[in-house]
Structure 1
Amino acid sequence: MLSIVPYEPIYAQKFKELNIAWISEYFIVEDKDKELLENCESSIIHKGGYIFIGLWDNEPVGCFALIKISEGNFELGKMAVHKLHHGHKIGQKLLTYAIDYAKSKNWKKIELYSNTKLDTALHIYKKFGFKEVQLEKSTIYLRSDIKMELTL
């Protein structure tokens, strides 16, 4: 059974490991990844963002961050699910939680950056109402070739 809990320092290493695992499987770990993952409290939480951890039988198996861009506008990032737990709809449950959390805070928008290689993720984002929008000329990640937004 999955439970989703707010970040605590005891989850810092697992947050980093979950993300490094999926990023390095498909892409290269970039400087911005390192900045966010190695110092997640100072780079995300202390800047007004949030991190949540998905626990399966009290074991961290998934995560995501809501990174503050501006008032009421957050980036959904650093979403990961351990490979051994794929197929349990954990990513969809994390995404539902993120959207519900944003709505409870009366945010205006959630945006995300992804890559068109990640068919399953893009399918899920579209299913949840995210729409493709214009990608900026320079993005913070080299791997980003698609930007999506969900207006709340």
Structure 2
Amino acid sequence: MLTIVPFQSTYAQNFKELNLAWITEYFIVEEKDRELLDNCESSIIEKGGYIFIGLWDNEPIGCFALLKISEFNFELGKMAVSQSHQGLKIGQELLVFAIDFARNENWKKIILYSSTKLDTALHIYKKLGFKEVPLENNNFYLRSDIKMELIL
């Protein structure tokens, strides 16, 4: 059974490893990845963002971050589920948790950047109400070829 908990420093390495696993499987690790994953507390949490960890029998098997853009707008990023636990709808549970958290905080919008290579992720985003919006020319990741948002 999945339990979702707020980030603690002891999970920093898990957060990094979970994300590096999927990034290296499909893409290359970029500078922005290194910035967020090597120093997640200073690059995400200390800038007003959040990280949550999904635990399965107390083992960290999933994660996501909410990066602060402005007071009421956040970016969903660095969502990952370990290979060994995929297919159990954990990504969907993490996303539902993120949306509920954002609504409880009275945020206005969640955005995300993804890749059209990630069919399963895009399906979950659309299923939970994210809509495709125009992608800026100067996004942070080479792999990002789609931008989506959820108005809360």
Provide TM-score, normalisation by structure 1.
1.00
Structure 1 segments unaligned to the other structure (5+ residues): none
Please identify runs of 4+ aligned residues in structure 1 that moved more than 6 A.
none
Amino acid at match of 1:10: T
Q: Name the counterpart of 2:74.
A: 74
SS at match of 1:132: strand
Amino acid at match of 2:138: S
CA root-mean-square deviation: 0.3
Q: Name the counterpart of 1:112.
A: 112
Aligned pairs for 1:1-80 within 5 A: 1-80=1-80
> Is 2:139 the partner of 1:139?
yes
Distance 2:49 2:138 in 1: 22
Report how far residue 48 of structure 1 moved. Answer: 0.2
Report how far residue 138 of structure 1 moved. Answer: 1.2
Report how far residue 16 of structure 1 moved. Answer: 0.1
State the percentage of identical aligned residues. Answer: 76
SS at match of 1:96: helix
Distance 1:151 1:16 in 2: 29
Report how far residue 21 of structure 1 moved. Answer: 0.3
Aligned residues: 152
